[in-house]
Homo-oligomer: A and B are copies of this chain.
Amino acid sequence: MLTEKVLHMNTGIGESSYATNSHLQGTGVKRSLPVLNEAINRIAKDLNGFLGCFKIADLGCSSGPNTLFLVTKIIERVHNICSESNSQVPQFQVFLNDLFENDFNTVFKSLPAFYTNVKEEKGDECGPCFVSAAPGSFYDRLFPDESIHLFHSSYAVHWLSRVPQGLENNKHNIYMAKTSPTNVFEAYKKQFKKDFTKFLQLRSHEMITCGRMILTIPGRSIPDPSSDDCCIIWELLAKSLVDMVKEGMVQESKINEFNIPYYTPYEDEVKDVIQKEGSFSLQSLDGFPLDWEPYNYTDTMNTDDVSGLPKLGVNTAKLIRAVIEPMMVTRFGSSIMEMVFKKFEERVVDHLTTKKGVNYNLIISLVKR
């Protein structure tokens, strides 16, 4: 399976699209704002303000309401710093990056409204702001040498460049799971270390000295790689696929050969790679838990109330489907998708009757040495 060809979110703006089902990621993005603002403050200090054109890249931008949200916030912060110091607001050049198969057309159609908003809110003295797309894998070079001031990436760098090698014995699983043999955990960890090291190397070439990078990814607060924090979602999805085997709808070998190119690192693993690679200093690393369904969970139910569970099941299934469907279709075909995600929805509800659905997330703030 060529990861670059199938690793993209569900396109468009329809019911099963990533654009419609990315509010969990949106909540995570909002949580990263204080760290992002602090990074911008530090850039302003280190560079003595913003001269000429401030260049920003968003890696793994996907397509949806989150894509331009952070750009707006970055402009806002720079604008405020310039107002406070009575200095000229710079021009902005923003590069949105994602893989070649990403739905950039939908992002571009939202740009006229974005530009109008920036102009209305910040006035003519701000910018102008130029948004462009730089498609390609962030495991390859994307930008000219020393051309970017600020890299940002939200829920993207946990996607590996490829499925790790040597997972043949990860039977009935599609990711690290409680029943995975030890070599599976090792293979995933090894691939993450290799990929994240390369990612840092490449970005360090593309970034100006004192440039900053903020990464938000799902991860782990504990060393155990099969922790519920990060793996239970994929265990439930694997079980839904195994249910389909029992009904004769899916070949067992297809599940055994399917593993997702994804890794939720333990905090210390991240720190370790950053230190060994050596191009960046770690400014901060913050972890926080996030409910699977952050909007509805607290609004509609308390922990003893199960009436909201079916809705939570539906929403969580939509969220995961928007992320993983293109990859699953490549392996299992599109005809069984409805049924797999129906089963998954039931398994999610079942899980939530006894446990809370929570992911752990990391916000990593780096500065180029």
Contacts and interface: CB of A to CB of B under 8 A. Distances in A.
Interface residues of A, number: 30
A136 interface: yes
Contacts of A100: 108-109, 111-112
Contact of A144 (B109, B130, B143): B130
A126 to B, nearest CB: 13
A20 to B, nearest CB: 19
A132 B101 CA distance: 14
Given A104-B105, A132-B134, A145 B112 contact: no
Contacts of A130: 134, 136, 141-144
Contacts of A143: 93, 130
A255 B144 CA distance: 50
Nearest to A146: B52
A133 B108 CA distance: 10
How many copies of this chain are found per oligomer?
A: 2
A135 B142 CA distance: 18
Contact of A104 (B4, B52, B108, B128): B108
A291 interface: no
- Give the most central of A102, A105, A143: most B CB within 10 Å: A105
Contacts of A128: 141
A254 to B, nearest CB: 26
A101 B109 contact: yes
Contact of A103 (B4, B105, B145): B105
A147 interface: yes
A360 interface: no
A209 interface: no
A292 interface: no
Interface in A51-101: 52-53, 91, 93, 95, 100-101
Nearest to A112: B100
A52 B112 CA distance: 32
A108 B93 CA distance: 20
A93 B132 contact: no
Interface in A125-162: 128, 130-136, 141-145, 147
Nearest to A111: B100
Given A53-B145, A53-B147, A133-B133, 8 more contacts: A4-B112, A100-B111, A101-B109, A104-B108, A108-B133, A130-B144, A132-B134, A133-B135
Closest 8 CB pairs of A and B: A53-B144, A132-B134, A133-B133, A108-B135, A91-B144, A105-B105, A132-B132, A100-B108
